Amino acid sequence: MRPEELRSHRWYGTDSLRSFSHRARTRQLGLSAEEHLGKPVIGILNTWSELNPCHIHLRERAEDVRRGVWQAGGHPVELPVMAVGETFQKPTAMLYRNLLAMETEEVLRSYPVDAAVLMGGCDKTTPALLMGAISADLPSIFVPCGPMLPGDWRGRRLGSGSDMWKYWADRRAGLVTDEEWREIEEGIARSPGHCMTMGTASTMTSVAEVLGMTVPGAASIPAVLSAHNRMAAESGRTAVRLAWEDVRPSRLLDERAYRDALTAVLALGGSTNAVIHLIAMARRSGVALTLDDFDEASRRVPVLADVRPTGAFLMEDFHRAGGVPALLHRVADLLHLDRPTVAGHGVATREPYDDTVIRRRDDPLSPEGGLAVLRGNLAPDGAVIKHAAAEPRLLRHTGPAIVFDGHRDLLARIDDVPATPGSVLVLRGAGPKGGPGMPEHGMLPIPDRLLKQGVRDMVRISDARMSGTSYGACVLHVAPESHVGGPLALVRDGDPITLDVGARRLTLEVSDEELDRRRRGWTPPPPHHRRGYGALFDAHILQADQGCDFDFLEGAGGPEPEVD
Q: What is the rounded CA–CA span in Å between residue 71 and residue 10?
A: 24
What global pTM score does this model have? 0.97
Q: What is the rounded CA–CA span in Å between residue 473 and residue 157?
A: 24
Q: What is the pLDDT of residues 181-205, one digit of tens each?
A: 999 999 999 999 999 999 999 999 9
In the sheet that holds 140-144, the strands lie side by side as 75-80, 41-46, 115-120, 140-144
Under DSSP, is residue 447 helix (H, G, I), strand (E, B) or coil?
A: coil
pLDDT at 370: 84
Q: What is the pLDDT of residues 151-190, one digit of tens each?
A: 999 999 999 988 998 999 999 999 999 999 999 999 999 9
How big is the chain by its Cα radius of gyration, in Å?
24
Cβ atoms 423, 410 nearer than 8 A: no
Cβ atoms 284, 549 nearer than 8 A: yes
Q: What is the pLDDT of residues 290-310, one digit of tens each?
A: 999 999 999 999 999 999 999
Residue 240's closest CA among 451, 65, 32?
Answer: 65
Q: Please list, in sequence order, all residues whose beta carbon lies within 8 angstroms of the beta carbon of residue 445, skipping any fewer than 6 positions away.
A: 169, 172, 410, 411, 414
Residue type, 355: D
Q: What is the rounded CA–CA span in Å between residue 296 and residue 373?
A: 9
pLDDT at 202: 98
Q: What are phi and psi of 6, to 5 degrees?
A: -65, 145
Q: What is the pLDDT of residues 106-141, one digit of tens each?
A: 999 999 999 999 999 999 999 999 999 999 999 999
Q: What is the rounded CA–CA span in Å between residue 235 and residue 549?
A: 28
Pinpoint the alpha helices (H) of 253-314: 255-268, 273-284, 291-298
Under DSSP, is residue 61 helix (H, G, I), strand (E, B) or coil?
A: helix
Residue type, 177: T
Cβ atoms 2, 246 nearer than 8 A: no
The number of beta carbons lying within 10 Å of the beta carbon of residue 245 is: 13
Q: Does position 564 have pLDDT exceeding 80, yes or no?
A: no
Classify each residue of 229-241 as buried b or exposed e, where b means 16 or more C-beta atoms within 10 Å of its C-beta: bebbbbbbbbbbb
The DSSP result for 449-498, as a single string, is HHHHTT----EEEESS---TT--SSEEE--SS-GGGT-GGGG--TT-EEE
Q: What is the rounded CA–CA span in Å between residue 290 and residue 273?
A: 14
For the residues 312-338, what does the mean pLDDT come to?
98
560 confidence band (pLDDT: 50, 70, 90): confident
For 251, the enclosing helix (H) or strand (E) is helix 249-252
Q: What is the pLDDT of residues 475-486, one digit of tens each?
A: 999 999 999 999
Q: At how many degrees (to 10) do helices 291-298 and 273-284 cross? A: 120
